[in-house]
Structure 1
Amino acid sequence: MYCPAHFQEDRPAELHRLIAQFSLATIVRQDADGLTADHVPLLFQATPDGAGKLLGHVARHNTLWQLSPDQELLVVFQGPSTYISPNWYATKHDAGKVVPTWNYAVVHAHCTLHAIHDPEQVRQLVTQLTGQHEATQPHPWRVADAPADYTDKLLANIVGIELRVHRMQGKWKVSQNQPKQNQQSVVQGLLSEGADAQAQMASLVQARSGL
């Protein structure tokens, strides 16, 4: 993706944090019908080589898992994003030379896919995914809470996928190209909206601009 140096985010911890928080990935591939995109929640897992892998599952009827193991896929994780009004720029009063924009944070992972068919491995994978997403619940649901014959039937209809990461790129477009007074006023404008997405973006602007 196009990414000026001042928007580049290379720190692995930041990339992994966004993936954990916004885990619904868009997996883009080229097949016989052209470009195809699937939307799959994925779990990042560290590997000894430092590159990591992404784990998830798809329906057995989804041809994604049938890809050649050397075909590269683009996996996109979309983090906080929001419209930025020119009214929020402190410098608006200086000749009005401001325009709207859109702030966002995104991670692109370039991967190859390996299918997982072993029933016990698929069960463990589903258990891991469930554990991550249920962690904030007062009484987390577990795979074992459902009848075994019921989950066995469902597990037979899915295939696990392991996406081996070859490289990652992060882009945090969060007002770094604005003067300090505009960064401060953008944070105020975002917080005045009172919505979660704007509050998340305000935190990113503050973190990247040192406010």
Structure 2
Amino acid sequence: MYLPEHFVPDEAAVRDLLTGSGASDLITMTPQGLLATLLPFDHDPDTGEHGALVGHMARANDQWRQPVQGEALVIVRGPDGYVTPSWYATKAEHHRVVPTWNYVTAHVYGRLVVHDDPAWIAARIRRLTDRHEADGAEPWSVDQAPAKFIEGRLRAVVGIEVVISRVEAKSKLSQNQPRENVEGVTAGLGARGRAADEALAAAMRAHTRPPKPGGGTAPAVPKVAE
């Protein structure tokens, strides 16, 4: 991953990204070539030295059967969106502005472990389901479905665990722009009215550099390639 220093998130931001992620791409190099599957993952911080990403995939999916050459890769995505240069205050000054794309992502590398154990899979599915049902007015529980039905569904999947060896994360949120441009982008995202834009604007506000003590704003990061 190309990672300029000013786009490197802190550990808390990386943890929040992994904990709050939705579906992510599991990518493995195998004797058949590159294989990829979009899977919902749950972050388990207590497995191994760096935690693990835990999920499941269809038993009929051949990816889990293929030997992994090297490490597995999971691409985790946070909010992202198009940024028009029309939102930059400096456009009116010199017009030396171009469009860009803001985003939050993490490349998670680790050892792929397959769990063909219904009890292990059931426990992880319960945890994943409870997490995503937590905000519902009437949260659904695995226990609401007939036990025999659930047993059959469990036999149709295998457990997937990526024991993390390293994480390369990036929060590209206009940190290389002066404060007036950042404020213009967050305002523009809010006015555009798309549901995903508010999450991106919130991430940008969380990464905005605070004003310098005694007034003024922190200097802009020198412009670099993005």
Q: Is residue 2:76 matched to residue 1:85?
A: no
Tell me how far apart the structure 2 counterparts of residues 48 and 81 of structure 1 sit (CA, whole Å). Answer: 29
Distance 1:70 1:160, change over 3 A: same
Deviations 1:152-211 (A, max 9, x none): 111111111111000011100000000111111111111111222211111122111236
Distance 1:70 1:32, change over 3 A: closer
Match of 1:96 in 2: 95
- Secondary structure class of the residue paired with 1:107: strand
- Deviates most, 172-181 or 183-192: 183-192
One-letter code aligned to 2:55: G
CA RMSD, 1 decimal: 1.6
Match of 1:6 in 2: 6
- Secondary structure class of the residue paired with 2:90: helix
Tell me how far apart the structure 2 counterparts of residues 70 and 45 of structure 1 sit (CA, whole Å). Answer: 24
Tell me how far apart the structure 2 counterparts of residues 192 and 143 of structure 1 sit (CA, whole Å). Answer: 40
Distance 1:25 1:121, change over 3 A: same
One-letter code aligned to 2:2: Y
One-letter code aligned to 1:159: V
Normalised TM-score (structure 2): 0.87
Match of 2:46 in 1: 47
May I ask how many residue pairs the two structures share in their alignment? Answer: 210
Deviations 1:82-134 (A, max 9, x none): 00001000000112111110000001100111111222111111111111111
- Secondary structure class of the residue paired with 1:181: helix
Match of 1:139 in 2: 138
Tell me how far apart the structure 2 counterparts of residues 204 and 161 of structure 1 sit (CA, whole Å). Answer: 29
Q: Work out whether residues 9 and 169 of structure 1, in 8 Å CA contact, stay in contact via their aligned partners in 2.
A: no
Tell me how far apart the structure 2 counterparts of residues 136 and 66 of structure 1 sit (CA, whole Å). Answer: 35
The percent identity for this pair of structures is 36
Q: Is residue 2:171 matched to residue 1:172?
A: yes
Q: Work out whether residues 50 and 166 of structure 2, in 8 Å CA contact, stay in contact via their aligned partners in 1.
A: yes
Q: Work out whether residues 31 and 67 of structure 2, in 8 Å CA contact, stay in contact via their aligned partners in 1.
A: no
Tell me how far apart the structure 1 counterparts of residues 58 and 25 of structure 2 sit (CA, whole Å). Answer: 15
One-letter code aligned to 1:134: E
Tell me how far apart the structure 2 counterparts of residues 76 and 161 of structure 1 sit (CA, whole Å). Answer: 15
Q: Work out whether residues 70 and 112 of structure 1, in 8 Å CA contact, stay in contact via their aligned partners in 2.
A: no
Distance 1:170 1:132, change over 3 A: same
Normalised TM-score (structure 1): 0.93
- Secondary structure class of the residue paired with 2:75: strand
Q: Work out whether residues 28 and 69 of structure 2, in 8 Å CA contact, stay in contact via their aligned partners in 1.
A: no
Gaps of at least 5 residues in structure 2 are: 211-226
Q: Is residue 2:30 matched to residue 1:16?
A: no
Q: Work out whether residues 81 and 104 of structure 1, in 8 Å CA contact, stay in contact via their aligned partners in 2.
A: yes
Match of 1:105 in 2: 104
Q: Work out whether residues 10 and 170 of structure 1, in 8 Å CA contact, stay in contact via their aligned partners in 2.
A: no
Q: Is residue 2:199 matched to residue 1:200?
A: yes
Q: Work out whether residues 133 and 139 of structure 2, in 8 Å CA contact, stay in contact via their aligned partners in 1.
A: yes
One-letter code aligned to 1:8: V
Q: Work out whether residues 31 and 66 of structure 2, in 8 Å CA contact, stay in contact via their aligned partners in 1.
A: no
Gaps of at least 5 residues in structure 1 are: none
Match of 1:57 in 2: 56
